[in-house]
Structure 1
Amino acid sequence: MSQILKEAIQNGKTALGIELGSTRIKAVLVNENNEPIASGSHDWENSYIDNIWTYSVDDIWEGLQDSYQKMAEDVKQQYGVPLQTVGAIGFSAMMHGYMAFDKNDQLLVPFRTWRNNITGQAASELTELFNYNIPQRWSIAHLYQAILNKEEHVAEIDFQTTLAGYIHWKLTGKKALGVGEASGVFPIDLNTKDFNKKMIGQFNELVSSKDFSWELEDIFPEVLVAGENAGYLTEDGAKLLDVSGELKSGISLCPPEGDAGTGMVATNSVAQRTGNVSAGTSAFAMVVLEKDLSKVHPEIDLVTTPTGNLVAMAHSNNCTSDLNSWVGMFEEFSNAMGIKVDSNKLYETLFNLALKGDPDGGGLLSYGYLSGEHMTHFEEGRPLFVRSSESNFNLANFMRTHLFTAFGAMKIGMDILLKEEGVKLEEVLGHGGIFKTEGVAQSFLAGAFNAPVSVMETAGEGGAWGIALLASYMINKNGSETLDEYLNEKVFADQEVKTISPDPKDVKGFEQFMERYKEGLAIERAAVDHLK
């Protein structure tokens, strides 16, 4: 087997996916059967500078190069050959945000990430103008807010893109986005699978008095769908990605996609009536729709699959960050007691303990709002744990509450889809680190959505594997084979899936917790207003 993989690597019968997540950059190399055969990762963190959540350009490239180098070293150690070529490459990153460049390709202002809740006025005005929900995270909201703020750099914009689009551009010279990623930049016309021309015209008219030298279509990237070729790795691009100089140029790249799209692919949930939940620093639930929603909901984003089909997304800015901090404190306590505990064992123990808690978490309340939370209208966050004198305060309930609240803001959005809009959901697939401890977060999510939740054995592979699959699809699909068909037949046919149906006690308990969650938002508001 090792010899077969060695020859596959040497002959470029592979696909590489690299995704830049909020806290980790991961590279995954897959074989012709779409199985991961090597990987590498790099941990990083955003910075809060001048009231902006950002990553520096240096951090972007150092992290990307490090994750690639570790993956290439993994190849060399396992198979004894240098990685000089691959069949195709794909890049993915956190959706949305704002990267604007001048005519000399210089970044005009520091990268503004999805995490910033600083575009409220712009998002509101554009939602009204388009009669289409424009969340604060979206690139167009950032652009229009900069215009409203009269920021000088706007007049100099020559190109605007996302993090994934930026990396793709620098490595190929091609200004392009996958349609799923593009759907978080500006609304998509589902017929043309391109930016909505009518809305572009409305925007241009809105800002016409500013006399900019550009119109919106001039500064936006090209939109491509899954399966289309999105350019080739240039010589400079190869040197930029692989600082060792081993990697050769000329490799095909698939359209760059956002983490929402790669999450759909990695969980095989690109068909109608399927949904998936990606849970990490942020959490988002996505449901592939059979028809348009009845009205605009500020809490619900409308994006697309990588093939351009309509998806409703309930997104929350905060999920596991505060939970991870609490687990870290328990690890610190263990070390102080002279007890060295494996981190994975610690998570497993604490998560399983949560299963023994009261159905509603014992009356405890937590908000893991490390940053602002648009779903509940907070421009800033204050992580908070609250209990009354009558609460059943024990470790099981403490952990259960923190796992519940990780899904709390997202559930508010999902209740709109499931209860108000009557969206049909036959199965939810979960992926992300929170699902690694078998059966815990999965059970709670089933209770939150009152729907079966499945986790695949590849749930921990995440979006890097998802974008590798999109790269593989581009070069390995047969003729008119759709992405759905490719995933069902070539990727997930033999995949082990573990499904948990909702327990009525968990459903009722989560609803009781959510009543407390909503009532307690006034406490979070007081913390934001008075705790600096």
Structure 2
Amino acid sequence: MSHDVINDIRSGRTALGIELGSTRIKAVLVGKDHEPIASGSHEWENSYVNQMWTYSLDEIWKGLQESYRDMASDVKRRYGISVQTIGAIGISGMMHGYMVFDESGELLTPFRTWRNNITEQASAELSELFGFHIPQRWSIAHLYQAILNGEEHVARIRYQTTLAGYIHWKLTGRKALGVGEASGVFPIDMHTRDYHGAMIKQFDGLIAPRDLPWQLTDILPQVLVAGDNAGALTEEGAKLLDAAGELQAGIPLCPPEGDAGTGMVATNSVAPRTGNVSAGTSVFAMVVLEKELSKAYEEIDLVTTPTGSLVAMAHSNNCSSDLNEWVGLFGQFAKAMGMETDSAALYGTLYNQALQGDPDCGGLLAYGYLSGEHMTHFEEGRPLFVRSSGSNFNLANFMRVHLFTALGALKIGMDILLKQEGVRLDEILGHGGLFKTEGVGQQIMAAALDVPVSVMATAGEGGAWGIALLAAYMTNRSGNESFEAYLNDRVFAGKTGVTVQPDPADVAGFEAFMKRYMKGLAIERAAVDYLSE
């Protein structure tokens, strides 16, 4: 096995995926069987500078190089050889945000990440103009807000892209984005798999009175789909990626993608009627649609898969953070009682208690709003636990209500899709911290969505593996082989997961809880207004 891997590395029968997440940059090298053979990572954090969340260009390149170096060191340690060539490379990153450059390629303003909720006016005006929901974090909202603000740099813009698009450009010289990433820059036309032409014209008409020296298509990257060749690593790009200077130029790169798209790939959720849900600090669900929705919804974002299929995304800012703090409190109690317990045992015991609770949590109510929650229109949050004298207050119901409420805001968005729009969903793939305790998170999610929830072992590989698979598809596909078929037949064939079916009693209990949740939002509003920070 090791000998075969060494030959694959030497001959370039590999694919490398690098994803720049908000707290970690990860590099994953896969072999010809698509299994990871080496990995590397770099931890980083955004900075809050001049009221703006950002990462400096120096931090970006340092982190990229260190994650690559860590991966290359892993190869050296495992197989005793250096990485000189790779079959294909893919770059992925956190979506949206604002990176704009002048004619000499200089960054005009510090990178504004997706975290900056500073585009409320632009978001509202564009959503009304297009009849299509434009979230604040989208790149076009950042651009239009800069125009509304009268920012001096706007007239000097010659190129706008995302973090993944920027790195891809510097590695290859090619100004391009994968369609999934591009769908978080500007709305995509489902028929052309390109920016929506009518909306482009609307935007150009909107800004025409400002007499800027560019039109939108002049400054946006080209849109490509999975399987397209997006350029090759240049000599300069090779040196940027591998500071040791061992990596050769000429390696093909697939279209750069966003973390949402690579998450779909890593969970094999790119075909219609499939979906995935990521549940951790925040929670979001992505459902691949069979047709367009009947109208625009403020609660639903519309993006695409890396092949250009329409995806509806329901996103909640708050999920497990407050729940984790309660678990931590019980851990402190155990320690004070002289009981030593590790984190896995603590979570396992408490989460499994939730399965013993009343279906509707015994009348208890909680909100884990550590931050604001756009689904329920809260600009700030206040964690709350509420009960009446008639509630069935016990440990099982206490844990159950905090697991239920972690998915409360998400359910509002998913109910729009599944109930109001009649979207069909055969199953949803779960990944993230909420699912670490076997079976519990799945059962609660199945109750919330009334859909089978599956967890696969490969889901933990993450987006870096997902973009590596996209790179592998570009070079390995046969003829007209679709990406969906490639994943099903070559990557995930034979891989099994654990599926939990929704329990009717749990589903009814969650519905009863949601009536209490919606009615109790007045309590949350009072807490926000009273407990000002």
Q: TM-score, normalised by structure 1?
A: 0.93
- For residues 219-251 of structure 1, give each alpha carbon's deviation from its aligned partner in whole angstroms, at most 9, with x where no partner exists: 111100000011112222222222333322221
Alignment of 1:165-314 (within 5 A): 165-314=165-314
Secondary structure at the counterpart of residue 359 of structure 1 = coil
Aligned to 2:532: 531
Q: Is the CA contact (8 Å cut-off) linking 2:370 and 2:383 kept in structure 1? A: no
Asked which structure has the greater CA Rg, the reply is: 2
**Is the CA contact (8 Å cut-off) linking 1:14 and 1:31 kept in structure 2?**
yes
Separation in 2 of the partners of 1:183 and 1:6?
A: 38
1:69 corresponds to: 69
User: Which residue number in structure 2 is paired with residue 83 of structure 1?
Assistant: 83
- 1:7 counterpart letter in structure 2: N
Deviations 1:426-449 (A, max 9, x none): 111112233232211111111111
Cα distance 1:509–1:178, how it changes in 2: closer, same or farther (>3 A)?
A: same
Partner of 1:387: 386
Partner of 2:416: 416
The 2-side partners of 1:369 and 1:241 are apart by 40
AA of the residue aligned to 2:532: L
Q: Structure 1: which amino acid aligns with 2:403?
A: L
Query: How far apart are the structure 1 equivalents of 2:513 and 2:384?
Result: 14
| Gap change, CA 1:244 and 1:163, over 3 Å in 2 | same
- How many Å apart are 1:72 and its aligned residue? 2.0
**Retained in 2: the 8 A contact 1:30–1:468?**
yes
- Preserved contact between residue 87 and residue 475 of structure 1 (Cα < 8 Å): yes
- Counterpart of 1:357? 357
Note if contact 2:364-2:388 (Cα within 8 Å) is conserved in structure 1: no
In the alignment, the residues of structure 2 paired with residue 329 and residue 65 of structure 1 have an alpha-carbon distance, to the nearest angstrom, of: 39
Could you tell me how far 1:211 is from its partner in structure 2?
Answer: 1.2
| CA drift at 1:22 | 2.7
Contact between 1:89 and 1:254, CA under 8 Å: does it hold in 2? yes
Q: Does 1:434 align with 2:456?
A: no
2:133 is equivalent to residue 126 of structure 1: no
State how far apart, in whole Å, the 2-side matches of 1:503 and 1:334 are. Answer: 32
Distance in 1 of aligned mates of 2:364 and 2:62: 42
CA distance in 1, matches of 2:368, 2:60: 26
Contact 1:322–1:383, Cα closer than 8 Å, also in 2 = no
Gaps of 5+ in 2: none
CA contact (8 A) 1:23 1:281 kept: no
Question: Counterparts of 1:94-109 in structure 2 under 5 Å?
Answer: 94-109=94-109
CA change 1:159–1:299 in 2 (3 A) is same
What pairs with 1:26-41 in structure 2 (closer than 5 Å)? 26-41=26-41
Structure 1 residues 28 and 123: alpha-carbon distance in aligned structure 2, compared to 1, 3 A threshold: same
Pair 1:395–1:162, CA change in 2 (3 A): farther
Please identify, of 474-483 and 325-334, the stretch whose mean Cα deviation from structure 2 is larger. Answer: 325-334
Aligned-residue RMSD, C-alpha: 2.3
SS in 1 for 2:458: coil
1:349 positional shift: 3.8
Cα distance in 1 for partners of 2:401, 2:234 equals: 50
Letter in 1 for 2:465: W
Q: Number of matched residues?
A: 531
Which runs of 5 or more structure 1 residues have no equivalent in the other structure? none
Query: By how many angstroms is 1:308 displaced?
Result: 0.8
Matched residue, 1:519: 519
Change (3 A) 1:450 1:174: same
Closer/same/farther in 2, CA of residues 404 and 108 from structure 1, 3 Å limit: farther
CA contact (8 A) 1:22 1:281 kept: no
Tell me which residue corresponds to 1:483.
483
Counterpart for residue 505 of structure 1:
505
Provide the secondary structure at the position in 1 that maps to 2:285: strand
Q: 1:318 to 1:248 in 2, by over 3 A?
A: farther
> What's the secondary structure of 2:459's corresponding residue?
coil
Query: Within 5 Å, which residues of 2 pair with 1:463-482?
Result: 463-482=463-482
How far the C-alpha of 1:321 sits from its partner, in A, is 3.9
Matched, 1:3 2:8: no
Q: Secondary structure at the match of 1:458?
A: helix
Change (3 A) 1:333 1:10: farther
Of residues 150-159 and 473-482 in structure 1, the stretch that sits farther from structure 2 once superposed is: 150-159
Checking the alignment, whether the CA contact within 8 Å between 2:384 and 2:524 is kept in structure 1 is no
Q: Is the 8 A contact 2:322 2:383 kept in 1?
A: no
Distance 1:140 1:528, change over 3 A: farther
Contact preservation (8 Å) 1:177, 1:222 = yes
- Structure 1 CA distance for aligned equivalents of residues 400 and 47 of structure 2: 30
Give the CA deviation at 1:328: 5.3
Q: 1:64, 1:237 → 2: CA distance?
A: 12
Q: Distance in 1 between matches of 2:517 and 2:49?
A: 30
- How far 1:512 sits from its partner (Å)? 2.6
Q: How far apart, in 2, do the equivalents of 1:474 and 1:366 lie?
A: 47
Shift, 1:477, TM fit: 0.4
> 1:124-167, CA deviations, whole angstroms, 9 ceiling, x for partnerless residues?
21111111121222111111122222222222222111121122
3-state SS of paired residue (1:502): coil
* Matches of 1:322 and 1:23, distance apart in 2: 20
How far apart, CA to CA, are the structure 2 residues paired with 1:34 and 1:237?
25
Give the distance between the partners of 2:246 and 2:354, measured in 1 at CA. 48
1:247/1:349 CA distance change after superposition, 3 Å: farther
Which piece of structure 1 moves more, 387-396 or 214-223?
A: 387-396
Change (3 A) 1:354 1:459: farther
What is the alpha-carbon distance in structure 2 between the residues aligned to residue 304 and residue 432 of structure 1? 21
Question: Relative to 1, partners in 2 of residues 1:392 and 1:291: Cα closer, same or farther, differing over 3 Å?
Answer: same
- In 2, distance between residues paired with 1:412 and 1:267? 23
Q: Percent identity?
A: 70
What is the DSSP-based 3-state SS (H/G/I as helix, E as strand, rest coil) of the residue aligned with 2:411? helix
Q: Which moved more, 1:329-338 or 1:235-244?
A: 329-338
- Residue 147 of structure 2: SS of its match in structure 1? helix
User: Contact 1:116–1:372 (CA<8 Å) still a contact in 2?
Assistant: no
Distance 2:465 2:71 in 1: 13
Change in Cα spacing, 1:506 to 1:113, as seen in structure 2 (3 Å) is: farther
Q: 1:243 to 1:512 in 2, by over 3 A?
A: farther
Query: CA deviation digits over 1:164-201, x for unaligned, max 9?
Result: 11221222221111001111111111121111111111
Report how far residue 510 of structure 1 moved: 1.9
User: Residues of 2 paired with 1:97 and 1:12: CA distance?
Assistant: 34
